[in-house]
Amino acid sequence: MDTPTALSAAALGWVAGMRSMTAPALTAAALGSRQRQTPARQLSSPLAQRLFAFAAAGEMVGDKLPMTPSRTDAMPLAGRIGSGALVGAAVAAARGHSRIGGALVGSAAALASSFVMERARARVGEATGTPDPVVAVAEDVLTVVVGSAAAGAVRR
């Protein structure tokens, strides 16, 4: 796998650790319908694009609810790692590289991001006295900005 592909897979995997559905939503939109017969084609179908966008919006709302489990609990963490693997594999496949390599890079980045960003969010709230839902919205913005930049690189 070349460096640009690995960096794209890592960046989108990092986004998956922040918001598990935003990464596939942005990846699907970036890949669009230009894919031929690759697994990335299923991810980028119009239906998949709509479903991922809907799920991403729902996740951003649900993240603010007090009963939402920690992203580092077993099930949410597994979902984030899986999302990172999905986007990493899709990016690699779209660029003609190993899906397995892309999945490994994306999942590793998602795992790291899940822990790093959870702690960063808590520290920002503690240091500034900002309520967690407000910090969470700032994290949403960061997720979309980083994810859009990474997805834009996939388009090229």
Residue % of the chain over a pLDDT of 90: 76
* Residue the block writes with tokens 């460096």: 3
Q: Which domain holds residue 59?
A: 3-155
Give the DSSP letter of residue 129: -
DSSP H or E segment with residue 131: none
Question: Long-range contacts for 74-78 (Cβ within 8 Å, ≥24 apart)?
Answer: 76/20, 77/111, 77/114
44-48, 59-63, 64-68, 86-90: segment of lowest average pLDDT: 44-48
How many domains is the chain built from?
A: 1
Q: What is the pTM of this model?
A: 0.90
